Amino acid sequence: MTRAFNFSAGPATLPESVLRQAQAEMLDWHGSGASIVEMSHRGAEFMSVAAEAEADLRRLLDIPDDYAVLFLSGGATTQQALIPLNFASPGQRADYVVSGHWGKTAVKQAGVYVDVNIAASSEPDGYRTLPPRADWQLSPDAAYVHITANETIHGVEFRDVPDTGDVPLVADFSSSIASEPLDVRRYGVIYAGAQKNLGPVGVSVVIIRRDLLERVGQPRAEILDYRAHVKGESMLNTPPTWNWYLAGLVFKWMLAEGGVSEFARRNGRKSGLLYDLIDRSGGFYRNDVAVAARSRMNVPFFLHDDALDALFLAQAREAGLISLKGHRVLGGMRASIYNAMPEAGVQALAAFMVDFQQRHG
């Protein structure tokens, strides 16, 4: 068996050791005689898995006690709808800063419930920059300000936490959570679909400052109510146990590897290697994002001649480098290099890109 280096944007590559452990435990979890995926979520076995996963995530991200942590079924898009339902009153204003495709998705989900104010958008420049904080048109009465910490398609990432005063900052961290130290206290809500940096698709992590749970919000069923989920310890209904378990293994792996500070160093080196190579390629490769806004997680790039795209992808695949095709919104290529992408994978990609340029430049 050979595993390729997989640059998929999500569902994304997982640590090989985690997959091996899940494989070893698949039929008989810890001598229980059954797979963890076959057990009741309320049994002692799964309850211990769930509690450990939360404790490990709290340690990994240094999450203070006055923040609740939820593991909910479904993706980040669902949270984008639940956030206005839970934290804004009907028709109240909410500020959205749009720095790429997923910020727009968040606006679309929220627009049904709140009066969305686009406080700033970098759409006019094709999402190649971040809207400067000084230009944001924030509303004084906004329920919250929403940003996308890392735009997975456009490869644009906030490198500083914007100051929003007393208005809670809500951030979609789907594609950059746990990639570097995070000052949780600067945020009201942090949410992330797991399928990039935390584990398999099907579970989302939501981190909520507890005082926000006192907000009345909008009429909603209990199953759409964060407060009820906190009270029910993310087990109001049957949770995605397998996904939660696998995410827990990923948290343990990240802690054992040295935690988020170590991943910040690795991610800096990995993305630095690719951007350097692209910038020094004399125009053969191109990344259009302003240097200060470039993502450390998703590196979109273009070949100088798109007639070479298919050949690039085919030869990359032969070299054991897969899922490099860019999102259809942008075209070109994209290398997603989350925590679980080893440095050796990025080095192999860099070597391939240099060689490809020599042969076709």
Residue 239: CB minimum distance to ligand PMP, A: 16
The whole-angstrom separation of Cα 39 and Cα 34 is 7
171 binds ligand PMP (CB under 6 A): no
CB of 218 to ligand PMP, least distance (A): 21
Separation of alpha carbons 126 and 336, rounded Å: 20
Among this protein's residues, is 325 annotated catalytic? no
Q: Which of 113, 173 has the CB closer to ligand PMP? A: 173
Residue number with CB closer to ligand PMP (270 or 334): 334
Rounded CA gap, 46 and 303, in Å?
48
**Region of 16-24, 119-127, 133-141, 169-177 interacting with ligand PMP (CB under 6 A):** 169-177
Stretch that binds ligand PMP, among 136-144, 160-168, 172-180, 242-250 (CB under 6 A): 172-180
x/- mask, ligand PMP, residues 86-125, rule CB under 6 A, reads ----------------x-----------------------
Query: Residue 120: how many CB atoms within 10 A of its CB?
Result: 24
Q: How many residues does the chain have?
A: 361
Catalytic residue selected from 29, 95, 104, 196: 196
- Measure the CA dihedral 240/234/214/133, to 10°: -40
Q: CA nearest 234: which of 112, 75, 29, 70?
A: 70
The answer to whether 242 is a known catalytic residue is no
Between residues 74 and 259, which has the closer beta carbon with respect to ligand PMP?
A: 74
Out of 8, 10, 96, 332, the only residue in the binding site for ligand PMP (CB under 6 A) is: 10
Of 149, 146, 208, whose CA–CA distance to 180 is shortest? 149
Please tell me which residue in 172, 244, 252, 325 is annotated as part of the active site: 172
State the nearest-atom distance from the C-beta of 56 to ligand PMP, in Å: 22
CA distance 334 to 312: 12
How many residues of this chain interact with ligand PMP, rule: CB under 6 A? 11
Instruction: Let me know if 172 is a catalytic residue.
Output: yes
Only one of the segments 75-83, 267-275, 284-292, 337-345 lies at the binding site for ligand PMP (rule: CB under 6 A); that segment is 75-83
Beta bridge partner(s), residue 334: 300
- Given a contact cutoff of 8 angstroms between Cβ atoms, the answer to whether 12 and 6 are in contact is yes
Give yes or no for residue 193 binding ligand PMP (CB under 6 A). yes
Q: Which of residues 119-148 bind ligand PMP (CB under 6 A)?
A: 148
- Answer whether 193's CB lies under 8 Å from 183's CB: no
**Is residue 13 at the binding interface for ligand PMP, with CB under 6 A as the rule?**
no
| Active-site hit among 102, 104, 270, 325 | 102
Q: Which residue from 152, 241, 323, 339 is in contact with ligand PMP, where contact means CB under 6 A?
A: 152
Q: Rg (Cα) of the chain, in Å, rounded?
A: 21
CA dihedral 199→155→110→204, nearest 10 degrees, is: 10
Per the CB < 8 A criterion, the answer to whether 334 and 257 are in contact is: no
Residue 295 interacting with ligand PMP (CB under 6 A): no
Q: Where are the alpha helices (DSSP H) in 1-98?
A: 16-25, 44-61, 76-87
Residues with catalytic roles: 102, 172, 196
Name the residues that contact ligand PMP, by CB under 6 A: 10, 75-77, 102, 148, 152, 172, 174-175, 193
